Amino acid sequence: MTTDAKPSSRDRLLEAAATLTYAEGVGIGVEALCKAAGVSKRSMYQLFESKDELLAASLERRAAAAGRLLPEEDDARSPRERILHVFERLESQSVAPEFLGCPYLAVQIELKNPEHPASQVARRIKQGMTEFFRKEAERGGAGDPELLARQLVLLFDGASARAGIRADSLAGLIAPTVATLLDAAGMA
């Protein structure tokens, strides 16, 4: 006989924080987070020093899911194809009804405080994406890999935000735009 282990209070809080802050914003109250997780406020404060720490930890945990946007390290595709893969994934995710844009960008915009623990986690994750683009641009022979990486992140964030608020569809728009940037940077 097998029994499924119930997620721990910590896991339930992290999942509730990720889900609710993505759907409703970082202003979600502690009571709502605890209620969604089925955890008392006392338990939450035993597990996390503050709501801020809980938000940061939930973003950290979500980073593994964000990694699915990036190709695996051992992916044999060309640097150009690896970069395009990220935007193809964004395009496919953007049509889901629950898609609200990049959660890391949203946190940074909402919090406005770059020193907030969740802002710091979000910034580090976004810097990781920039670094991925820079490395691929360098491997692909881009004339200025640093500039191209910054342009690609700007495009990613703008496309994610516009798709998240349903202001635009990325279908037929994002891939040709990325290809134009890659061509202009000299990436074959």
pLDDT at 188: 78
Q: What pTM was estimated for this model as a whole? A: 0.88
Would you kindly state where each structural domain of the chain is located, as residue ranges? 9-184
Over residues 58-105, the pLDDT tens digits come to 999 888 765 578 888 888 899 999 999 999 999 999 999 999 999 999
Domain 9-184 belongs in CATH node 3.40.50.2300: no
Give backbone dihedrals phi and psi of 96, rounded to 5 degrees, phi first: -70, 135
What are the structure tokens assigned to 157, written together? 């964030």
Which residues, other chains included, contact 185 with Cβ-Cβ below 8 Å and sequence gap of 6+? 137, 142, 143, 144, 147, 148
- 5 band by pLDDT with thresholds 50, 70 and 90: confident
E strand spans, 121-168? none
- 115 band by pLDDT with thresholds 50, 70 and 90: very high
